[in-house]
A and B are shown apart, each in its own frame.
Chain A
């Protein structure tokens, strides 16, 4: 299976280089610190703040994890191998997306120590929002990766790719503010694009099919655009 071959290769490069270890270490350090600070000050057995913090740290780490996915292939000329082999851009992009998603899932699984802790030691802990929150975090991750992957397909310079994906993610994160700025159709349209607002619903325990579909479509659109960019090499 060619998709699996790409996926395996990407996972190998994450762990052959120090990138994955450094991102894992700093993510867990920050999230652990925030969990402790928030719990001690609020004395509330709620994971909502943790979910917000963890996802924002993921947003910051995302460009670093996705920037090299395609940029590096261009820079080191291995793109010539991929594009002259019998493998399609869809397979390349899907394989890379899955590799990165697995990395995120590993990060997310490592945060599960906190809900386990809380459910053991608190007397009124609601697991509902935890399940929906984790679903939201997985969907949010795939949105982050897909936009980052697209950004990475645009340039052979990893810094440029990282900046494009950081800018794009940040913009989608804060689009909701437009609702407060203009109370009209335009403001609401922008607000509907906000990944933050939709993610918040999950943290309150709401699994709205509209939000699920939004994240799935969001992911597909950026992945599709990334395959188009790769295909365009053949007819440009």
Chain B
């Protein structure tokens, strides 16, 4: 549905995107993730044919964004970073205007406005002036605008910015729901949003793709070691620590003593050497209360992948 091939974009001498290639299948939600200035918005603007690429090609629904820009724009809903609203208009007259320039005929336009307003929770605000709305409602108007002509492809630049937590949950639900009959690309800083809504993630840093995978795979691959959260009741001889320390590559951190129990985080290099170690500890009379694996969060992946400078310095 969406294809980018070797897209590079310069602003003067500054290279905003470097040789980016990605593709999104029909019905997929792709999350574009990256720190500020990574090139997410530039990539989205190229797909919407708002900006030309310096080199490379991109197609949306089979049409080239540069050669067949008009056909692309007919099939595309776009929510830019700043909702593109006219503050002096009412919500209804604004949506009506958008419907007109998106080629919706009079009767269909009215129905769609009512339908979308209902879905996004704008029905009670249709007669209000956009300039008087709160940021969250303005953002909703922006989303409504992108959905109005029921496009095949939705490109949403930070769709949940400025919303309160309840609204964020609603909008995320809405996005998931939309994926049934739309193909969606969304960009965000919120990693939680990606793991909740997206089927696939592309992480961009300094104009380059640094990772591309499903959310689960990225989380799995984040660290070489495996982390466990452990709570135990030590035996009288209190020799559990000695046994762990003897096993090569282990690391104990965040140790906490509490009512006769000891809690700590344990890092193990590989799965094979556990068994004998745990057996030895248990044999000496220590009782385990909790052993739970800690998954690396997307935050860890993100920080690891986007702070390359620091990693080099460490090594």
Contacts and interface: CB of A to CB of B under 8 A. Distances in A.
A235 B52 contact: yes
Contact of B97 (A1, A5, A86): A5
A82 B101 contact: yes
A183 interface: no
Highest count of chain B CB atoms <10 Å: which of A81, A83, A233: A81
Contacts of B87: 76
Given A2-B100, A2-B101, A84 B89 contact: no
A194 B49 CA distance: 40
Q: Tell me which of B50, B76, B145 has the highest count of chain A C-beta atoms within 10 A of its own C-beta.
A: B50
Interface residues of B, number: 30
A77 B82 contact: yes
A66 B290 CA distance: 72
A81 B49 CA distance: 11
Interface in B133-157: 145
Nearest to A80: B80
Interface stretch (B14-22, B67-75, B242-250, B269-277): B67-75
A220 B15 CA distance: 38
Interface string A1-40: 1101110110011001100000000000000000000000
Contact of B49 (A6, A16, A84): A84
B78 A86 contact: no
A83 B80 CA distance: 12
B123 to A, nearest CB: 22
B88 A17 contact: yes
A236 interface: yes
A43 interface: no
Contact of B48 (A8, A13, A84, A87): A84
Query: What range describes how many residues of A lie at the interface?
Result: 20 to 34
| Residue among A5, A77, A80 with max Cβ neighbours from chain B (10 Å) | A80
B172 interface: no
Contacts of B98: 81, 85
Contact of A85 (B45, B73, B89): B73
Q: Is the interface of A mostly helix, strand, loop or mixed?
A: helix
A234 interface: yes
A223 B45 CA distance: 26
A175 B174 CA distance: 61
A98 to B, nearest CB: 15
A5 B49 contact: no
B103 interface: yes
Nearest to B87: A76
Nearest to A234: B52
A84 B73 contact: yes
A86 B86 contact: no
Contact of A16 (B52, B69, B88): B88
A84 B101 contact: no
A119 interface: no
A162 to B, nearest CB: 19
Q: Is the interface of B mostly helix, strand, loop or mixed?
A: loop
A85 B101 CA distance: 7
A81 B89 contact: no
B214 interface: no
Contact of B70 (A5, A17, A86): A86
B102 interface: yes
Given A13-B86, A86-B102, A233 B50 contact: yes
Contacts of A81: 78, 80, 84, 98, 145
A119 to B, nearest CB: 41
Interface string B38-56: 0000000100111110000
Contact of B69 (A6, A13, A79, A234): A234
A78 interface: yes
B85 interface: yes
A233 B50 CA distance: 7
Nearest to A13: B88
A12 B90 CA distance: 11
B167 interface: no
B125 interface: no
A2 to B, nearest CB: 5
Contacts of B86: 9, 13, 76, 78
A85 B74 CA distance: 7
A83 B49 CA distance: 8
Contacts of A4: 100
Kindly list the 6 A-B residue pairs having the minimum CB-CB distance in the complex, ordered from nearest: A5-B100, A81-B84, A16-B88, A77-B82, A80-B80, A78-B84
Given A76-B84, A85-B102, A86-B102, 14 more contacts: A1-B100, A2-B100, A9-B89, A17-B88, A77-B82, A78-B84, A80-B50, A80-B84, A81-B78, A83-B49, A84-B48, A84-B50, A234-B49, A234-B51
27 contacts: A1-B100, A2-B100, A2-B103, A4-B100, A5-B97, A9-B86, A12-B89, A13-B88, A76-B86, A77-B81, A78-B84, A78-B85, A79-B84, A80-B50, A80-B80, A80-B84, A81-B80, A81-B98, A83-B49, A84-B49, A84-B76, A84-B78, A86-B103, A234-B49, A234-B51, A234-B52, A235-B52
